[in-house]
Amino acid sequence: MKFEYAPAPESRDIARLKPSYGIFVDGKFRAGRGEAVKTINPATEEPLAEISEAAGSDVDDAVKAARRAYEGAWSKTSPAGRSKYLFRIARAIQERARELAVLESLDNGKPIKESRDVDVPTAAAHFFYYAGWADKLGYAGFGPNPRPIGVAGQIIPWNFPLLMAAWKIAPALATGNTVVLKPAETTPLTAITLAEIIAECDLPPGVVNILPGGPAVGQALVDHPGVDKIAFTGSTGVGKMIQKSVAASGKRVSLELGGKAANIIFDDAPIDQAVEGIVNGIFFNQGHVCCAGSRLLVQESIHDEVIDALHARLETLRMGDPLDKNTDIGAINSAAQLARIRALADSGDDEGAVRWSPECPIPAKGFWFPPTVFTGVSQANRIAREEIFGPVLSVLTFRTPQEAVDKANNTPYGLSAGIWTEKGSRILWTANRLRAGVVWANTFNRFDPTSPFGGYKESGFGREGGRHGLASYLESEAYLAQ
Amino acid sequence: MPSKAKTPAQASGSGTNPGRSGSSGAGSSEARLTVRKTYKLYIGGAFPRSESGRSYPVTDAKGALLAHAAQASRKDLRDAVTAARKAFSGWSGATVYNRGQILYRIAEMLEGRRDQFIAEVVASEGISATKAATQVDAAIDRWVWYAGWADKYAQVAGSTNPVAGPYFNFSLPEPSGVLGIVAPQDSSLLGFVSVVAPAIATGNTVVVLASAQRPLPAVSLAEALATSDLPGGVINLLTGSVDELAPWLAGHRDVNCLDLTGVQPAARVALAEIAADTVKRVYAPARLDLAADPGMSRLAAFTEIKTVWHPIGV
């Protein structure tokens, strides 16, 4: 059954794109001293704007500005004042929500329905949640007078550009730290617009500094002696390098790294709901999600039924213009990411798994990869072990609950997992045994500012969100003595 | 040629197990020779020697030989990690009431051997019997303190989270897994207990390197552990060279956390760099005040917060 939909695109004018963007340091917008690079629309490969990126000297300026603010204006701001600044930011994001959503979809390639309904509102909610903590920290369970750490260097990925900025900045400011944040090189636009919002909210200069740039800027931030804390979200490989880089420095570090989540479908699961959860788990945001349910573990007796239903559902997904409100699957964020996805998917073919994709027209320009399901995958296959970070699902089977748990945990990662069954006791039994930081039972990929998020094992340490998220930005007695 | 080794009890000049007894000099009765203890490793609930066959001399504060302790090898360390991993599911899955009772049982076992441990601490650390008694009492009380935490920490550190949607959402702390610990080098018993007890209270299993120069009280503690209903493999004790063993502990891919309390600051960085390759949680407090309230930081350092979501609906 095919439904025809007329195009329903959002207007690109809503994004109010400027021809060029720079960096935000010490309360001022200016050109960075690094390279001028074009950020492109991954759905069309057309340039959106030119970014004058930060250089090492800009990192130095930003860290010094953040230090001055930390020791000056921000420490003189009362907790209630910090709280009100954060509430202001939350409301300002809501005011400019549509602009931010369109901008995000243009720069990232994600469908407008996701940027509009998930990224932007959740970012605003995150500021709203942590705003209220700023003047209540003594009640948070970290002692009567918890102290900030100092200057936080924050490095975020391209998959949820604005939301990740909110996850990083909101708890850092609520606890009294100041921030130097580096957005991902391919998606700087919403972070710079957030800097505009922060400037309009009259935060003291230097409290938040935003430095678009590439890996060299991130490395300079990690290595800068004026930074007290590094918060990183990204790949496990880079996370390991950062953890090693800061080992000698005494910097505190929190890492939110990769994942290879198991999504477990027991034979008594509500199949239709589970299929929706499988689709949401791996095809939300084109699979560019560290907690994506990329390993489907299906109980053997219902394997064919689930796969048939999944295929039927995937045939109805619409891939195309991210600004179209009917679009389910947007563009892959970059040519480099597309190449990685293709290489891993090809390894699935080479290692004997069976590839399936729905018939879906692929736009002529831009970076696209169709929703893809591999069946007959074994635990040893690369597509069952390595994070693909794309719309590729690997299907494995199990016979007993214990086998499901063993297979789910058979990975160095431990970020998230899913459980689908109608039996409550089985949910709790399974959730108890999964070595993962977030377990979604009969749902998947839900996020909320009150809900802690973060990994076990090589998926990183530290939590973002909730009361627990405060701890990543509060002084603790234990750190590497210099 | 007879060794001049003294047992710890002899060295202290006191204790319940004096080296020689019944030798009041009366007539023909020969002074009784003591039965000396072989200080071995404690791995998987058993007391093996080092597979390498190596041992090293352990002396008292004045340099007199106390015993030859086992000098663990990399292979012993790997065996210990294997034992700790094997014990993890059972220990982390035990009820908190059960874990609390076992920690309390350890305190009971130590209390009954208080004089022995005082003598061993005196011999190892060269402090007075009064000071050693304070240390041993504090060590026993520390087990009691953490026994009481076992069934409370989740309530303090966990939460239900009021998400903006029709979901029930809760967070709770779970043990991080297998810990590699370098125990304090100076405080042979209290220091050892202060790093091991909080780690296992929350359900972790541990591989711990005892003080290299003062390992004997920890080995004797292992004898108490073995009779405390503590499952084998929950605490695995290695004696030997920290410099030799710690890098292997830091790099082992099946060790989740690294506690560097007993490593000098200058040597910590190299180990932390090795640990980064497996994203280990590294805990390295700038100082360890054994007299202070231990607080919750060690419980928090080696636990992970797990958050579970479920829809609410009819």
Quick one: what percent of chain B has pLDDT higher than 70?
A: 91
C-alpha span between A357 and A355 (Å, rounded): 7
C-alpha span between A283 and A285 (Å, rounded): 6
Which residue in chain A is spatially nearest to B310 when comparing CA positions?
Answer: A441
Instruction: Please name the residues in contact with B302: beta carbons below 8 A apart, sequence gap of 6 or more.
Output: B175, B176, B179, B198, B199, B202, B204, B257, B259, B281, B283
C-alpha span between B281 and B294 (Å, rounded): 19
- pLDDT of B16 > 60? The answer is no
**Measured between CB atoms, which of B276, B284, B311 is closest to A479?**
B284
Minimum distance, in Å, between the CA of residue A172 and any CA atom of chain B: 19
Are the C-beta atoms of residues B110 and B165 closer than 8 Å to each other? no
**Measured between CB atoms, which of A243, A437, A468 is closest to B276?**
A243
Q: Which of chain A's residues have a Cβ under 8 Å away from the Cβ of B163?
A: 446, 448, 450-451
Q: Which of chain B's residues have a Cβ under 8 Å away from the Cβ of A431?
A: 306, 308
* Between residues A480 and A464, the one the model is more confident about: A464
The pLDDT, as a whole number, for residue A143 is 84
> What type of residue is B158?
G
The pLDDT, as a whole number, for residue B13 is 42
Please give the span between the terminal C-alpha atoms of chain B, in angstroms, as a whole number.
Answer: 84
Q: E strands of A135-240, at which residues? A: 151-155, 178-182, 208-210, 229-233
Are the C-beta atoms of residues A388 and A287 closer than 8 Å to each other? yes
Contact A244 B273 (CB under 8 A): yes
Minimum distance, in Å, between the CA of residue B195 and any CA atom of chain A: 13
Instruction: Please name the residues in contact with B275: beta carbons below 8 A apart, sequence gap of 6 or more.
Output: A243, A247, B250, B251, B258, B282
Does residue A460 sit at the B interface (CB-CB below 8 Å)?
yes
Strand order in the sheet with A229-233: A28-30, A23-25, A208-210, A178-182, A151-155, A229-233, A252-256, A460-461
C-alpha span between B83 and B87 (Å, rounded): 6
pLDDT in tens, B155-207: 999 999 999 999 999 999 999 999 999 999 999 999 999 999 999 999 999 99
Q: Is residue A290 annotated as part of the catalytic site, yes or no?
A: yes
Q: Which of A405, A458, A477 to mutate to test the interface with B (most CBs of B within 10 A)?
A: A477
Quick one: what percent of chain A has pLDDT higher than 70?
A: 98
- Upper half-sphere CA count for residue A121 (Cβ side, 13 Å): 9
The pLDDT, as a whole number, for residue B314 is 87
Q: How many contacts does A have with B, using Cβ atoms within 8 A?
A: 134
Q: What is the mean pLDDT of residues B92-110?
A: 98
SS3 (DSSP) at B59: strand
pLDDT in tens, A333-386: 999 999 999 999 999 999 999 999 999 889 999 999 999 999 999 999 999 999
**Measured between CB atoms, which of A431, A453, A482 is closest to B308?**
A431
* Structure-token match 């709280």, residue found: A83
The pLDDT, as a whole number, for residue A151 is 98
| Backbone phi and psi for residue A417, each to the nearest 5 degrees, phi listed first | -165, 160
Contact B276 A247 (CB under 8 A): yes
Residue among B281, B279, B284, B235 nearest B253 (CA): B279
pLDDT in tens, A264-309: 999 999 999 999 999 999 999 999 999 999 999 999 999 999 999 9
Q: Which of chain A's residues have a Cβ under 8 Å away from the Cβ of B307?
A: 437-439, 451-453, 466
The pLDDT, as a whole number, for residue B139 is 98
- pLDDT of B141 > 70? The answer is yes
What does DSSP assign to residue A469?
Answer: G
pLDDT in tens, A409-442: 999 999 999 999 999 999 999 999 999 999 999 9
| Beta pairing, strands A295-299 & A262-265 | parallel
Q: Which of A99, A290, A458, A464 is catalytic?
A: A290
| Beta pairing, strands A46-52 & A36-41 | antiparallel
The pLDDT, as a whole number, for residue B30 is 87
Instruction: Please name the residues in contact with B97: beta carbons below 8 A apart, sequence gap of 6 or more.
Output: B150, B151
Q: Which residues 110-149 of chain A have a CB within 8 Å of chain B? A: 125, 141
> What type of residue is B134?
T
Averaged pLDDT score across all residues of chain A = 96
C-alpha span between A350 and A353 (Å, rounded): 8
| Tally of CB atoms within 10 A around A315 | 13
Q: Which of B89, B176, B254, B279 to mutate to test the interface with A (most CBs of A within 10 A)?
A: B279
Does residue A63 sit at the B interface (CB-CB below 8 Å)?
no
C-alpha span between B48 and B297 (Å, rounded): 33
> What type of residue is A208?
V
pLDDT in tens, B209-259: 999 999 999 999 999 999 999 999 999 999 999 999 999 999 999 999 999
Which residue in chain A is spatially nearest to B90 when comparing CA positions?
Answer: A433
Q: Which of A53, A99, A104, A256 is catalytic?
A: A256
| Tally of CB atoms within 10 A around B214 | 30
The pTM of this model reads 0.94
C-alpha span between A191 and A184 (Å, rounded): 9
Q: Which of chain A's residues have a Cβ under 8 Å away from the Cβ of B166?
A: none
DSSP states of A395-435 as a string?
EEEESSHHHHHHHHH-SS--SEEEEE-S-HHHHHHHHHH--
- pLDDT of B24 > 80? The answer is no
The pLDDT, as a whole number, for residue B26 is 52
pLDDT in tens, A171-213: 999 999 999 999 999 999 999 999 999 999 999 999 999 999 9
- pLDDT of B36 > 70? The answer is yes
Contact B285 A467 (CB under 8 A): no
What's the gap between Cα A265 and its chain centre? 25
Contact A247 B269 (CB under 8 A): yes
Chain B residues with CB under 8 Å of a chain A CB are 93, 156-157, 159, 161-165, 167, 169, 171, 176-177, 253, 256, 260, 265, 268-269, 272-273, 275-279, 281-286, 295, 297, 300-301, 304-311
Q: Which of chain B's residues have a Cβ under 8 Å away from the Cβ of A436?
A: 306
Q: Is residue A256 annotated as part of the catalytic site, yes or no?
A: yes
**Measured between CB atoms, which of A141, A255, A456 is closest to B304?**
A456
The pLDDT, as a whole number, for residue B12 is 45
Quick one: what percent of chain A has pLDDT higher than 90?
A: 95
The pLDDT, as a whole number, for residue A2 is 65
pLDDT band, very low/low/confident/very high, at B17 (cuts 50, 70, 90): very low
Does residue A250 sit at the B interface (CB-CB below 8 Å)?
no
Minimum distance, in Å, between the CA of residue B167 and any CA atom of chain A: 9
> What type of residue is B78?
R
Crossing angle between the packed helical segments B96-112 and B190-201, to the nearest 10 degrees: 160
What does DSSP assign to residue B49?
Answer: P
Are the C-beta atoms of residues A407 and A395 closer than 8 Å to each other? no
Tokens of residue A257, six digits: 């790294």
- pLDDT of B2 > 60? The answer is no
Q: E strands of chain B, at which residues? A: 55-59, 65-70, 159-160, 167-175, 178-182, 205-209, 235-238, 257-259, 281-283, 303-311
- pLDDT of B19 > 50? The answer is no
